[in-house]
Chains A and B, each alone.
Chain A
Amino acid sequence: MDTKNKFFNFFTFLMSLVPALVLITILAFVLFYAWPSIVFNGTTFFTSYIWNVGISSRPPVLVRGFLVPPNASFGALLFIESTLISSALAILIAFPVSFLVSLGVEMYLPARAKRPLVSLIELFAGIPSVVYGLWGIVVLEPLLLNTIEPWMRSNMYFIPGFSGEVLTGSGIIASGLILSLMIAPIITSVMVNSFDSAPKEIKQGLVSLGATKWELGKYLATNYSRSSTYGGALLGLGRALGETMAVLMVGGGIVNVLPSSIYSGINTMAAAIVAYLDSAIGQGTGINLSALAELSLFLMVISLAVNLLGRRIAGRGALRGVENDKL
């Protein structure tokens, strides 16, 4: 009995290490593949936006101990910038919209309608991203190209970055909108749940003292539900950073030129990895694949950092709650 128990304890302890082991294995694996690129590119990887796979028809040359095609250079700045811009835009749109939707759900819907609606919202999060991408190409891009972007250009040109040329309809705005559509359900569902779980006595107390619905929502979002508010936003950001298919479809897939205005095309890290993987695998020196592995590594590090930050904020909020209860 006792030994059985001990064995069980030991076994569950081992199993508890599995997630950490998996994570470390993946990191090690990606790092191993990325290593030639890290050495070969050095800091250029982050400072240059020229992604040049070199001339593979000529014999490879030896650079810093690695064989690479002549002229090859891998600068990921465009991909990094594209990812950050599109994700930032997505959060900028999705966060206030989610806040207003959750406030509306909390304030205006009867309890029995709330649950089904939240389920419906959560269902949105399960729609495959290729569907969003398709909708983006068929509906959104023409709308942006023919109507919205020309309107923005002639009416908002005084805002820096809004006066550029409208070319295709794909790019920053399309990606930001599609991403926001994809992450808003996540943020909304976190927010609705946290508004809903705030104590009724506190909500009624606030309103009884003359708080408007708006002030009530603001108070909940910044106090009671603060950790969920930020946690939800970071969850959404994590999703946006790593989202691949939809931004591959509506990003524009540009190369070797940085976006010059809000109408420019982009090429996110995740999209670039998918787009270039096929040709990289067949390439003889392996440096192409290694450069994509470095890109993956960087994307992974950013995503992990966002997630960790989210947890820390959420954790701090939770701790504060406990302290309050104890006092």
Chain B
Amino acid sequence: MEKIIEIRDLKVNAGKKEIINGLDIDIYANRVNTIVGPSGGGKSTLLRCLNRLTDLEPGIRVNGNVTFQGKNLMDYDDVELRREIGMVFQRPNPFPMSIYDNVAFGLKLQAKVSKSVMDMMVQNALEEVGLYDEVRDNLKRHANTLSGGQQQRLCIARALILRPKVLMMDEPTSSLDPVSKGRIEDLIKGLKEKYTVILVTHDMSQARKVSDYTNLIYNGKIVASSEGTEFTDIEDQDVKDYLGELAE
């Protein structure tokens, strides 16, 4: 399996507080790489390190060695990096504008694109998330008129239009109903054809459904990794208890 991201000895501090302390993880290309772990374990922080959203949080210090496609993360231009590592958030966050403008937004920032090309790219991105048929006649509609599940797929389309290498999803279904959740899970399985997916979830059954490679984060460290979702040889009793709770 090809590694697209390698993190070694990552440390993240907020003032005196250690959020992540010495974390190692490999992310495999064209796989669904899942990260599970208790609330407050540092999952979202880890994702924010990867696209350097942490640069915008002046109180946060990040140390360690992260390579993405063989190149140190800090050697990337931050804007360039964020186009290559897309992010979807826990709560759908469409911008207050039309469906079309939402999807076109990132591309518009990047380049001057003719209307016809933009139309095509927007359609493409919406098709990729299975939203196009639902909204094709209403592309000018305000994005807030979509259902929660549709909004989340819109946010995925908005990230995909930039053709990222990696798509990070931070508990993308935790605010959605079971049907919308199922649709997004199916979508995730399809996405790995073209993209590397990093999925953060609390939900073991979701991990079992979509995950190719699963990492368990606990107290700011990866304490276990495994192909599939079964963790063996865990020593720490707290971690065992946590897994037990998850399984219930």
Write the residues of chain A forming the contact surface with B, with a CB cutoff of 8 angstroms.
Answer: 107-113, 199, 201-213, 215, 223-224, 324-325, 327
Contacts and interface: CB of A to CB of B under 8 A. Distances in A.
A110 B60 CA distance: 8
A289 B89 CA distance: 66
B109 interface: yes
A206 B162 CA distance: 13
Nearest to B52: A207
Contacts, number: 68
Interface of B: 51, 53, 56-59, 79-80, 82-83, 86-87, 89, 91, 93, 95-96, 105-106, 109-110, 142, 144-145, 155, 158-159, 162
Q: Please provide the 3 A-B residue pairs with the shortest distance between their CB atoms, ordered closest to farther.
A: A209-B106, A110-B59, A201-B93
A210 B87 contact: no
Contact of A204 (B58, B83, B89): B89
A204 B89 CA distance: 9
Contact of A210 (B56, B58, B91, B162): B162
A206 B159 CA distance: 10
Nearest to A215: B109
Contact of A209 (B58, B59, B105, B145): B105
Contacts of A212: 79
Contacts of B87: 204, 208
Contact of B159 (A108, A110, A201, A209): A209
Contacts of B109: 209-211, 215
A208 B159 contact: yes
Contacts of B53: 204, 207-208
A125 B95 CA distance: 34
Contact of A208 (B82, B142, B145): B82
B99 to A, nearest CB: 12
B66 to A, nearest CB: 17
Nearest to A206: B95
6 contacts: A110-B58, A205-B93, A209-B82, A209-B109, A209-B158, A327-B142
A85 B142 CA distance: 42
B76 to A, nearest CB: 12
A223 B96 contact: yes
A209 B89 contact: no
